[in-house]
Amino acid sequence: MGANNTRLSPRQKMINLMYIVLTAMLALNVSSDVLDGFTQVHEGLNRSNANVGQRNSAIYGQLETLAEQNPGKVNAWLDKATQVRRSTEALYNYVDTLKREIVRKADGENGNPDDIVNRDDLESAAVVMLAPGNPRGTILRGRLDDYREFVESFIGDTLKRATIAEALCTDGVLRRGTLSSQSWEEAKFDQQPVVAAVTILSKLQNDILYAEGEVLSSLLAQVDAGDVRVNELNAYVMPQSRLVMRGGKYSANIVLAAVDTTQRPEIFIEGKKLENGNGLYEINTASTGTFNYKGWLLVPHGDGTSTRHDFESSYTVMEPMATVSATLMNVLYAGIDNPVSISVPGVTMSGISASMTNGTLTRNGDSWIARPSTVGSDAVITVTATMDGRPVDVGTTRFRVRKLPDPTPYIAFKDASGATDHYRGGKPFAKALLMSASGLEAAIDDGLLDTPFTVESFETVFFDSSGNAMPEVSAGAAFSPRQKQQIQRLSRGKRFFISRIRAKGPDGITRDLSPMEVIIG
């Protein structure tokens, strides 16, 4: 109002003040037309909720009927639908409890959500839903979040999941003209008339029932999702193996291609009905050879008729056998570990056991380690396999036991690339490499045995200018200081010999090795 110089009388000032107060009171009151509108929406939601609930019950009833007709196929989907129904009912009833408490707060203990007296009460909804000591709105938001995540896990369609997520969204709300957002419960129930709060909760119940209906429809559709429609039926025999050892058992599955596993056909073999009902045909074998058999399947149809599908197959029974081979060669060496592979066709490694004479035989994962003890006596490996729950001897293999051959002495050195190499004598060898070598080593390194030996001692023989031999004894496997001095004095083209080499192998035997000639390069 613009300022002027006219002075108002005390009476006029009082009238103006009363107008301002009345205007404020009108702003605080909610129009009865608006309240009537909320009432009509609430009644419409109640009718809609009843209809949606009946539709959901009908879908659930379809699942129950299908489960009674074919429990093996439908029970898994019915169990999931039951979980959804229970969760929905619990949350729906909780929202009903909140509606009654808000109305009773406004109208007293006899308050009825379907007949609200104090519809314009602006405090009751906030007291029930936003009270600091018992924030029912916060609890409701948490339960809605849990329910939304639960039902979304049953729906594979991303569009339907997004629709449910939007319907049950509990994100905060940013009001126009404000800088910070309100929580979901504050935006829904702060300063709301009782009739509006109850209508909001009825709408939430409608969204909950909608989500339940989408999940139930999805579960019902998935009952037949895995079915395969075919226009040709054939009978097949699927044996676990066509080769059977004498004393073992022949097993085969007799099936109809694309048949529903919850409704198997009747199977007849050589005129006799297979009684186990799962299509597994088993027969004990007593003699070797090839055996044929035939039969038929009777497939029932929905109209009460059945069709016959013939089949035939065969199996071969063979003598028990085992495969045993030495990984290294056709002999075993005494005193060392000899890798051996053992297998039995048709038997897993866990079902195989073995023993050996003249030594020990131990399992090492899927392989075996044979360690013979006496040279000259054969080692016999006997293999036993577990077939049909009982042990069966499937074969024996005899090996000759030999002593390890003598190793070759050498001087280890590093080449230009830093790799370790061996000098075995008979050709020029750089003096610098020789001086850097620690001593003499020995091994069988033929690519098969690759067995290291321990050099115990050796002797070097140098010659003076008169041709006299000057022997020097090593310090075990290493060059002695005097041997190093003698090597240092040699010039290019000179040579010396390493003899009386004694080395011990892993079998504990010490042997004398052949001498080697070293030429200074």
- CB contact at 8 A, 462 and 478: no
> The tokens of 487 are what?
């090597």
For residue 359, give the 3-state DSSP assignment.
strand
Q: Give CA separation, 249 vs 252, 346, 394, 395, in Å.
A: 10, 11, 15, 19
- CB contact at 8 A, 436 and 413: yes
- Burial of 118: CB neighbours in 10 Å, binned 0-12, 13-18, 19+: middle
Find, among 293, 295, 291, the residue nearest to 316 by Cα. 291
pLDDT at 494: 92
4-32 confidence digits (pLDDT tens): 444 545 655 564 555 454 444 434 455 66
**Helices and strands in the chain: count of H runs, count of E runs:** 10, 25
Give the residues across from 317 on adjacent strands.
244, 289
Q: Looking at the structure, do residues 253 and 377 belong to the same domain, yes or no?
A: no
- CB contact at 8 A, 408 and 426: no
Q: Looking at the structure, do residues 294 and 422 belong to the same domain, yes or no?
A: no
Q: Looking at the structure, do residues 114 and 260 belong to the same domain, yes or no?
A: no
In terms of residue numbers, what domain contains 381? Answer: 323-402
Quick check: is 6 in a domain? no
* Boundary-marking domain end, from 375, 402, 429: 402
Q: Looking at the structure, do residues 330 and 450 belong to the same domain, yes or no?
A: no
Quick check: is 138 in a domain? yes
pLDDT at 280: 81
Cα gap 520→196, rounded to integer Å:
108
Q: Are strands 331-333 and 323-326 parallel, antiparallel or unpaired?
A: unpaired
Q: Looking at the structure, do residues 378 and 461 belong to the same domain, yes or no?
A: no
pLDDT at 88: 94
Positive or negative, the CA dihedral 211, 216, 219, 225 is negative
136-160 confidence digits (pLDDT tens): 989 999 999 999 999 999 988 888 8
Q: Looking at the structure, do residues 176 and 137 belong to the same domain, yes or no?
A: yes
Q: CA dihedral defined by 184, 187, 193, 198, rounded to 10 degrees? A: -20
Quick check: is 502 in a domain? yes
Number of domains comprising the chain = 4
Cα gap 404→163, rounded to integer Å:
79
**Strands, E, within 96-222: which ranges?**
none
Q: Looking at the structure, do residues 117 and 60 belong to the same domain, yes or no?
A: yes
- CB contact at 8 A, 132 and 145: no
* Residue 48 backbone phi and psi in degrees, to 5: -65, -40
Q: Looking at the structure, do residues 329 and 434 belong to the same domain, yes or no?
A: no
pLDDT at 297: 86
pLDDT at 310: 92
* Boundary-marking domain end, from 402, 429, 446: 402
Quick check: is 26 in a domain? no
Quick check: is 347 in a domain? yes
Q: Can you list the pairs that 304-309 forms with residues at least 24 positions away whose Cβ atoms lie under 8 Å?
A: 307/233, 309/233, 309/234, 309/235, 309/256, 309/265
Quick check: is 19 in a domain? no
Q: Looking at the structure, do residues 138 and 191 belong to the same domain, yes or no?
A: yes
Find, among 200, 289, 282, the residue nearest to 243 by Cα. 289
pLDDT at 2: 43
416-456 confidence digits (pLDDT tens): 888 999 999 999 999 999 999 999 999 998 777 789 999 99
pLDDT at 325: 64
Q: List CB contacts of 232: < 8 A, sequence separation 6 or more.
A: 257
pLDDT at 504: 95
| CATH number for the domain that contains residue 377 | 2.60.40.10
Quick check: is 278 in a domain? yes
* Boundary-marking domain end, from 385, 402, 419: 402
Q: Low-confidence residues of the chain, pLDDT below 70?
A: 1-34, 37, 175, 177-179, 224-234, 240-248, 256-263, 277, 301-305, 321-323, 325-329
pLDDT at 458: 96
Q: Looking at the structure, do residues 54 and 161 belong to the same domain, yes or no?
A: yes
Quick check: is 17 in a domain? no
